[in-house]
Structure 1
Amino acid sequence: MLNLLLSFLLAQTTPPAPPPAEVVQPQQVRPLPGRLDSIPTFNSNSPELVLNEGILLSTFPAAGKKVPSAHLNFPFRGRFDVFAHHVAKAEPPENLRSLYLGILLHNPTSQPVRVNVLQGASYLSQPDAPFIELPAFSQNNLGNVFAGPGDRVMSDILRGRRQNIFPAQIVIPPGQSQMLLNQPIPVKGLTPPLNGRSTLVRLQSNGTVYVASLALFARTNPDGSERAPTLAEWQNLLDNGDVSSPRDKTPTPLEETGKPRVYGRVAGVGDGAQWRAFIVDNPKAKFLTIPQPGQAFSYALSTLHGGTLGTGQIQSARLLVRYPDTAYRAHGNYGIQYSLKLPLYNSSPQSQTVSVSVQTPIKEDQLTQPGLRFFTTPARQVFFRGTVRVRYRDEQGKSQTRFIHLVQRRGQPGEPLATLNLKTGDRRLVEVDFLYPPDATPPQVLTVATQAN
């Protein structure tokens, strides 16, 4: 009680902190070349906080289902991705049962379907990947630097890993279903009793499959211990259940309404899994001329409605199907891989030092000044927390591959991923790859800067 009173008195006598000072970096912002591919992404992120059993996302046909509106009738075939990001909380606090996340694959055909698991990872916040304070810039070649389950999952997939909870292949008999994932989100023993799980799996099927993500509480054994739900129990929920509630905030329409913008959480199938870009001076060029000494230019990353940084480009994946109370597009592109190639060219008569970096400017739709706005002291909110791979050849011609973990707060300029010395006439390819991590807040930019002579 004394501490509470002291805090109250301190709040009355301490003037509010002034907003952090801003600085404008005069750098041109360009739309990102390339586009998303057409690999469909099953995106299960609404409701993010799952308090009750139910269907999170079903692409099954509605026929024969008790609640037809819970099923979106979207078949997958060939390459597709499955992304899921959900949080469990004890509600009421004494209800400490584990919530299970199930991802079910169904073969509607008369022939067996083989589903190859190309890469896959699924982690909990506790104990797999707690949110811990990390430096703004860390070498992460071993993959052991992460904060949060989404951060760790994206790092694994970037390295091409398949976690051992996933088999290399699943064979689904005709007309039957198999579980891709059946894992708990435990809350017992945690303070507060809150936990999350992030999952991304890259799949290749030789036939048609339907996918559903589902939530069930752990079943109880005769001795009182918990057990995972069975395939039959998952199937019963799919056939007879409704979408899990309470629901997330309903998004505002994409068109300007004059009201505060609510993007909403995603529950649908996104159109695209990877954005490839060959970044050159113009569509007919073969290289990217570096900026003049002391200057920089940037390419927008993960832009969205109301946050295009003056480019007018919206990179958020469109949704092929969605629940009507969830996001209109895959804002933030969680789990989407950006693969960017920059064939840098020094056309100046002197050697130049050029850097490539990821930055998190203050979000704007139209730039109010000719440049990007940053805070002199970055804000408290972490807007990007993830691993970036950068590849290039050094001055000796040796191939370099570096994995760098970034933590960027709102309005933070960021440190260079790579710094290269280019002689006059030199050309050097720099490749930047990352998967946009859950819990990040767009937009970001990729900046090329030349040091002043």
Structure 2
Amino acid sequence: MIKKTSSPPPTHYIFVLALIGVSGCWLLRQKSVPSPETLAVAQDTPTPKPTPQIIVQPQPVKALAGSLDTVPMFNSNSPEWLKMEGILLSTFPPTRKAVPAAHLNFPFQGRFDLFVHHQTINPKDLQTYYLGVILHNPGSQIVTVDVLQAASYLTQDSPYIKLPHYVENPDNTVYAGPGDRAVHDVLQGKRQVDFPAKLIIRPGQSAMLMNLPMPVRNFEKPQNGRSTLMRLSSSGKVYAASLAMFAKQNPDGTERAPTLAEWQALLDRGNLASPRDKTPSSPQQIGGQLIYSRVAGVAQGSRWQALLVDRPGAKDFTIPQRGKGVSYPIATLRGGRLGTEQIQTAKMLVRYPDTAYEAHGNYGIEYNINLPLYNATNQPETVSLTLETPLKEDRLSQGGLIFRNPSFNFPWFRGSVRLRYKDDRGQQLTRYVHLWQPMGQVLEPLVQLGMPPGDRRSVQIDFIYPPDSTPPQVLTIRTAEN
């Protein structure tokens, strides 16, 4: 049965899926009081969960304008769970290395990004893992690597917690995971004190960019993780590698960080860390289970800039008609294009054969979306913008984006966005808002604007796609019915 809802948004339709079954009937007996045995059976029978309402938003879904830039990203996310020491990702040349296949031979020069995310649970003897990132200058001139922004957080200091759907977050005090927290620092242009402003690397020499612990001892659950995002710029060619090593012991039994020489020895003589993650499905696979796997390689893309206008070359985004809306997908991927032909996933420039073919999720990639809204009518209109997470689909099986009530419990987007716009009083605002979104949740708007006839209002939405999220999402622009 299909019925139109009377509650906002007015264009939603609800498919009520009723589970109807008759397995028998009760016989009316003279004895009106049920027996104790009957009561016991009734008490043990679980109450069936109500069937969720399936909500379809039938507005058009259009491909997001713009494209990824070509800035390379060192993307170290496989294996996600560490069980042994080893090389996580090396772009060093394979020459003079004990395991040549562990090195992808990709030099960086100029702007590049670095994303590292790994976890561990109950390591041997509760030893502390260290995550190291080493840079090497292969040339004959000094190379300077500027650390433009950088942030790294532990899971134990930034736990995965449940939060309200929206919380104002100007100072990055609201987060639900280490990746969520780290990318917000970078969005705000910060560089943590753990990282130098620059590294100066002499010819033929190496230097440690990161050498940070991931402790598990003395926690209720011996589990931890670390998420790191950096934006870098190098004056010359450098090679990079991320590695995992247990802390070394001092003579008194205390732990210490590995030295540059110890990291270099692991890089030269070590193998890829294991056990490995699931092997990904081939891009040519048709049917069957789709396995994305985790990323370990160099992806192409640091930023996606989008200007949403009526048509190429136009200067305005004419707001939808009353009661109508339009959505633009974010971080679409194979198997999750939401009815468009667009895959936004960053391609891999180099990768290990048993890791992801693409950088699914675009973790650490910044989206800059500019909306020059224009009310072309002769009536005042109310326009809303919502970043939301519909059910994942490749083709829109119901003719629109699908939501449900109740939504799923697990959050598919947890991260902060920056909003810049003029409010209805003409005041220029910059807001940072943290989002915690279960998949399928129908949400209140992020921004709602009252636009007089002929009004033009620009809204800028910026965010770095949070590593603690699952794509795809959509940005929806809707004009209220009245």
TM (norm. structure 2) is 0.90
Q: CA RMSD in A?
A: 1.4
Instruction: Note if contact 1:137-1:415 (Cα within 8 Å) is conserved in structure 2.
Output: no
- Cα distance in 2 for residues equivalent to 1:251 and 1:218: 32
Residue 194 to residue 11, structure 1, CA distance change in 2 (3 Å): farther
Give the corresponding residue for 1:5. Answer: none
- Cα distance in 1 for residues equivalent to 2:260 and 2:94: 20
Q: Give the CA deviation at 1:12.
A: 7.1
Matched, 1:194 2:226: no
- Cα distance in 2 for residues equivalent to 1:342 and 1:370: 25
For residue 25 of structure 1, the aligned residue among 57, 60, 66 is 57
Q: Give the CA deviation at 1:132.
A: 1.8
- Cα distance in 1 for residues equivalent to 2:418 and 2:195: 24
CA shift digits 1:274-326 (9 cap, x unpaired): 00001111112111111111111000100000000001100000000000000
Instruction: Note if contact 1:56-1:267 (Cα within 8 Å) is conserved in structure 2.
Output: yes
Give the corresponding residue for 1:124. Answer: 154
- Cα distance in 1 for residues equivalent to 2:184 and 2:258: 29
Q: For 1:59-70, what aligned pairs fall within 5 Å after superposition?
A: 59-70=91-102
Matched, 1:218 2:247: yes
Matched, 1:166 2:195: yes
AA paired with 1:43? N
- Cα distance in 2 for residues equivalent to 1:150 and 1:66: 33
Secondary structure of 1:233 counterpart: helix
For residue 130 of structure 2, the aligned residue among 100, 116, 126 is 100
Secondary structure of 2:179 counterpart: helix
Q: Give the CA deviation at 1:19.
A: 5.1
Secondary structure of 2:158 counterpart: coil
Give the corresponding residue for 1:409. Answer: 438
Matched, 1:57 2:89: yes
Give the corresponding residue for 2:80. Answer: 48
Secondary structure of 1:321 counterpart: strand
AA paired with 1:329? E
- Cα distance in 2 for residues equivalent to 1:374 and 1:109: 55
For residue 410 of structure 2, the aligned residue among 374, 381, 384 is 381
For residue 304 of structure 1, the aligned residue among 333, 339, 351 is 333
Q: Give the CA deviation at 1:91.
A: 3.6
- Cα distance in 2 for residues equivalent to 1:176 and 1:191: 42
Give the corresponding residue for 2:21. Answer: none
For residue 67 of structure 2, the aligned residue among 35, 45, 53 is 35
Secondary structure of 1:41 counterpart: strand
Give the corresponding residue for 1:153. Answer: 182
Q: Give the CA deviation at 1:15.
A: 5.4
**Equivalent pairs, count:** 442
Identity of aligned residues (%): 57
For residue 73 of structure 1, the aligned residue among 99, 102, 105 is 105
- Cα distance in 1 for residues equivalent to 2:48 and 2:97: 56
Instruction: Note if contact 1:267-1:322 (Cα within 8 Å) is conserved in structure 2.
Output: yes
For residue 90 of structure 1, the aligned residue among 112, 116, 122 is 122
CA shift digits 1:320-339 (9 cap, x unpaired): 00000000000000000000
Instruction: Note if contact 1:358-1:415 (Cα within 8 Å) is conserved in structure 2.
Output: no
Residue 111 to residue 159, structure 1, CA distance change in 2 (3 Å): same
Secondary structure of 1:412 counterpart: coil
CA shift digits 1:161-210 (9 cap, x unpaired): 00010111110111011111000111111232110100000001100000
Matched, 1:343 2:375: no
- Cα distance in 1 for residues equivalent to 2:47 and 2:245: 48
- Cα distance in 2 for residues equivalent to 1:327 and 1:213: 17
Structure 1: state its 5+ residue gaps: 1-8
Q: Give the CA deviation at 1:247.
A: 0.3
Q: For 1:158-307, what aligned pairs fall within 5 Å after superposition?
A: 158-307=187-336
- Cα distance in 1 for residues equivalent to 2:51 and 2:75: 36
- Cα distance in 2 for residues equivalent to 1:348 and 1:313: 31
Give the corresponding residue for 2:145. Answer: 115
Q: Give the CA deviation at 1:369.
A: 1.9
Instruction: Note if contact 1:355-1:450 (Cα within 8 Å) is conserved in structure 2.
Output: yes
